[in-house]
Structures are given as C-alpha cells and as structure tokens.
Amino acid sequence: MSDFQYHRLASFSTLLLGTILNLIATGSNSWQGIEDGIYFGLWNVCFQIHSIKHWTCTAWEVLPDFIRSAQAFCIIGQMCYIVSAVLMLFSFFVRALQRSKVVLIVLSLLTFSAACLVSMTVVVMGVKGKDYIYSMKTDTELIFRYFLKGVVLSGLYEIGWSMIVAIVASLVTFIAFLVCFFEYRDITEEPRPTRV
C-alpha cells in the first residue's frame, strides 16, 4: 500500500466513525435533561412518570428555536459527511482522483465543515438547552403542569450520553480533516517531475 492509500484509508475510517457517531447522537433522546424527570434530544422529549418509574417519549409539542437550529446544523453536517464519504470512495477507485489536489481540498473543506457543524450543534444544545432547562425549573406554572402529569422537575441538570457521543463525533471528524489536510500538504511538497 502506498502512502496515499494509508492516508485515504485513515481519513475514510475516521470519517466513517464520525458519521456513525453523529447518526447515533442525532437520533437519540438523551442530550440533556433533569435527573429522574425529563430528557430531550433533537426530535423527542422523554418524561419519567414518577409514581411508576416509567419513561415515555413524545415528539416536541412546541419546537424551541434552539432545537430547530440544532436540527439544521445536524442535517447539514450529515450531508457533508455523506458527500465527503462518496468522494473518498470514488477517489479509491478512480485513478484520476487519487492524487488530485482539488479533491483533497474539497475533502478537507467538507470534513472540516462536518466537524464544525457537529460542534455547533453541541454548543447550541449545551448553552441554550441548559438555559431552557433552568427556565423550566423556575416556571412555577410549568412545574405544576408537569406535576399533574406525574413528572417531577426538581432533579439536577444532567448532560446526557448523546451530547458526549456528539462531542466524540466532532473530535473524530476533526482528525479526519487533519489527515486529509496532511495528505494535501504531502502532495504539494512532492518534487515535480522534470522534463529531460
């Protein structure tokens, strides 16, 4: 295997891992919440009925603006993942694309964009989600409505495993970007063939 194939295989495997982790984080419901009360993700809200210790999940009744923004970042990031994965696969099999500087620039930009979009999702969900939860805990009318449903909102704020998976997905995707970037740097530093 040549250096090109090692670089491309390393970038493809890290990108694939980042894609899978991002899909898991995007589809799960445990981004953050209140201990033993409520958890939410990008698509659903889950409540624990306190008396029977049973969790039930529903779609968002009123979609907060920060959730809509996080959904957009995740979807656009996933599209960057898909396009870069397809381009990497083509570069494995199409000889003209294997040492192309343009392809490497596009791959670097796409992987960097995907990593940044996942990071932006984490930041939006982390900052605005925490504010949203604290506003829930101070709204007495909302606390009473949830209490009537059997949901207790007196627990501590918790970061869910989905947010941690999204952070790892972002870091792994940044590694894929660095591998693409270093591969581009190696190609540009190679001496050009001279005519004799």
Rounded Cα distance, 53 and 69, in Å: 32
pLDDT computed for residue 193 by the predictor = 59
Eight-class DSSP state of 29: S
Q: What residue segments make up the domains of the chain, in order of their start?
A: 3-26+64-150+163-188
| CA-CA-CA-CA dihedral for 179, 183, 184, 187, to nearest 10 | 170
pLDDT computed for residue 4 by the predictor = 58
CB 121 within 8 A of CB 73: yes
Q: What predicted TM-score, i.e. pTM, was given to this entire model?
A: 0.86
Residue with tokens 């957009």, as numbered in its chain: 72
Provide the greatest CA pair distance for the chain: 87
Residue with tokens 């295989």, as numbered in its chain: 9
Runs of H (alpha helix) within 28-139: 65-93, 95-98, 101-138
Mean pLDDT, the chain cut into blocks of 10 residues (196 residues total): 68 91 92 88 87 82 92 95 90 76 88 96 94 88 82 86 95 92 71 59
